Amino acid sequence: MEMERTMIGDISRKEGKEVKLQGWVYRTRSGKDIAFVVLRDSSGIVQCVVKKDVKGFDDAQKALVESSAELAGVVKTDERAPGGYEIKVSNFKVVGFAEDFPIKEQQSPELLLDHRHLWIRSQNLVKIFKVRSTILGAIHQFFRDRGFYEIQSPSITRMACEEGSTLFEVKYFGEKAYLTQSWQLHAEAMASALEKVYCIAPSFRAEKSRTRHHLAEYWHAEAEAAWITHDDSLKLQEEMISHVVQTTLKKNRKEIEELGGNIKELEKVKPPFARITYKEALERLKKKGVMVKWGEDLADLQTRELAKDFEKPFFVINWPKESKPFYMLENPKDPKTVMNADLIAPGEFGELIGGSARETDIGKILANMKSQGIDPKNYEWYLDIRRFGSVPHAGFGMGVERLTQWLCNAEHIRDCIAFPRTINRVYP
Ligand code: 4AD
Ligand code: MG
């Protein structure tokens, strides 16, 4: 088949013409004299009709689901066919015969996860991966257009950035080390060199909770900038989210629609986003009959309750200092709180971003470490950032799968990454 390949998604432009397709058998049904093979490639599916007199008919008849094949044939409109087109095949060739496919209809989630390496071929996951790819591209574009440099930081580190309880320990040549929870501490050092930096990389959390929003390994889009205030950072965050959402909506509207994403809600995602303080969040929750004690984190249930008041993502700012990491800038107007924010998605999707302005005063950082039982010895290099030309700076981190989950309206975050790592799964 010496012809140039046509993608299935493009066949509407080739009506009446002969095309060559390559793909996998998505569905198949054959009689004595005819085989109906629905072929799948990354761009879509199409029904291909193979008659008995056609070269390769025997192969077409035998080929089980997920066999790979190439074929030549003429594109015909057919209103009954899914997608409105059908291929009248003149030559059919199986490239790789498939064994009996282990995934049938109505399989349990566990079986699907065990066969993830095959299940990623399914139509819904393919759509989600396309959306995810656009999201990642849009994040890069956003930061590069604003003069941010992409940098990389180590995945193996000796320090906790976030809560110690979610650290993954690794043996490191006889020393104890951890998989990184966030690039932030190293990024703060880089911000004194390149000023505006960003990165998209895996972060690791030994999350013991089984929720629909937590992975053990997730992709973290993080940014850090010198000489900016907390308010500048919030503006950057709302602009980034809006840019990514609108870009993705433009490019993948069809996928998002088919996945059941909330197009109307997403279209409204434009700056500014509302800002409420943590204190105000507790008051709002109290009115709804949900009691949260000062200092407690907001759980899924509580952010969902708050989200009912907002049509767009919204910030919860100024959290209690005692419950937050040592690096957050004390709020000069209310030293019980810090200059930080969580960005909460509308609906059920919870926290999209965590960020803060960073404490510049080494004395305050040391005091915070002391009250949190952290040994400053392990953070000597980090403290040097304050010793040598400390400047105001701020940054944030966004979970790529969290954003993908919201855009695709995916029930579980694990479907927003090809090979999810969760508390009970590191295979395949
Ligand atoms: O709120 P977090 O823990 O903030 C930080 O790591 C900061 N050091 C970031 C920074 O300022 N550079 O995590 C940031 C985001 C969360 O808002 C959430 O979207 C995502 O990372 N995230 C997770 N996503 C999936 N699975 C998990 N277990 C996640 N934990 C956090
Ligand atoms: Mg957080």
- Summarised one tens digit per residue, pLDDT across range 80-98 is 888 899 999 999 999 999 9
* Mutation probe of ligand 1 site: the residue of 190, 200, 214, 220 with most atoms within 8 A of C-beta: 220
> Strand 175-179 and strand 168-172: pairing?
antiparallel
- Summarised one tens digit per residue, pLDDT across range 272-305 is 999 999 999 999 999 999 999 999 999 999 999 9
Looking at the CA of 400, which ligand is closest? 1
* Mutation probe of ligand 1 site: the residue of 353, 407, 417 with most atoms within 8 A of C-beta: 353
Q: Which helix (H) or strand (E) holds 282?
A: helix 278-287
Looking at the CA of 401, which ligand is closest? 1
2 pLDDT band, cuts 50/70/90, is confident
The pTM assigned to this predicted structure is 0.97
Tokens of 295: 């200092």
Give 36 Cα–ligand 1 centroid separation in angstroms: 48
Q: Give the residue whose CA is nearest to atom 20 of ligand 1.
A: 399
Residues, the chain, total? 428
In degrees and rounded to multiples of 5, residue 260 shows phi and psi of 90, 20
The reported pLDDT for the residue numbered 209 is 80
Contact call for residues 72 and 20 (beta carbons, < 8 A): yes
Q: Which helix (H) or strand (E) holds 385?
A: helix 380-387
Q: Which helix (H) or strand (E) holds 263?
A: helix 263-267
Q: Give the residue whose CA is nearest to atom 2 of ligand 1.
A: 354
Residues with CB under 6 A from ligand 1: 161-162, 181-182, 184, 205, 207, 214-215, 218, 220, 222, 351-356, 395-399, 401-402
400 pLDDT band, cuts 50/70/90, is very high
The reported pLDDT for the residue numbered 210 is 84
1 pLDDT band, cuts 50/70/90, is confident
* Mutation probe of ligand 1 site: the residue of 402, 413, 414 with most atoms within 8 A of C-beta: 402
- Nearest CA among 397, 298, 297 for reference residue 355: 397
Q: Give the residue whose CA is nearest to atom 18 of ligand 1.
A: 399
Give 351 Cα–ligand 2 centroid separation in angstroms: 7
Give 298 Cα–ligand 2 centroid separation in angstroms: 10
Sign of CA dihedral 390, 177, 214, 323: negative
The reported pLDDT for the residue numbered 282 is 98
Q: What rounded mean pLDDT belongs to the chain?
A: 97
Encode 99-134: b = buried (16+ Cβ within 10 Å), e = exposed.
eeeeeeeeeeeeeebbebeebeeeeebebbbbbbeb
CA 303 – CA 296 distance, rounded (Å) = 13
- Looking at the chain, the whole-number percentage of residues with pLDDT higher than 90 is 95
